[in-house]
Amino acid sequence: MPQTPDQQTRNAVTRRITAHVTAGWPRLGEPLVRHRGQYCYVAALLPGRSGPTPILRLRYQGSADHWAIAIYKASTGQYTEAELPGSFGPVTGTPEQGIDDTFILYAGPGTGN
């Protein structure tokens, strides 16, 4: 299994994340997506904030459809895979599942959710 996603996978995942956030949370605008090594970080401009807020980190698991999902904890300034509430979804999944499981906690339900 590759340690890090290739450029094609990173580009495809960025497009998927942007489309999913834009469709589900249009009031937030386009998310800020960046990749570093095996990680994909997602931030969004939340209402009342002056800059993008970190929300989600995905850790590559060898496929564009399989990532470990971590939520950003503002209280510690760190991401955690261990503290995503189980009722919101699995600890691994697609980028879209990661968005659905974390954005609801920061930005409320999305459209159609």
CA distances from 72 to 36, 53, 56, 79, 106 (A): 16, 9, 6, 4, 10
Percent of the chain scoring above 70 in pLDDT: 89
Q: According to the model, what pLDDT value does residue 89 have?
A: 53
Q: What pLDDT does 112 receive?
A: 60
Is it the case that residue 113 has pLDDT exceeding 70?
A: no
Tell me the pLDDT tens digit for each residue of 32-41.
999 999 999 9
Decide if pLDDT at 23 tops 80.
Answer: yes
Query: Do 102 and 31 touch, CB atoms closer than 8 A?
Result: no
Confidence of residue 106 (pLDDT cuts 50, 70, 90): confident
d(CA 62, CA 44): 26
pLDDT at 82: 78
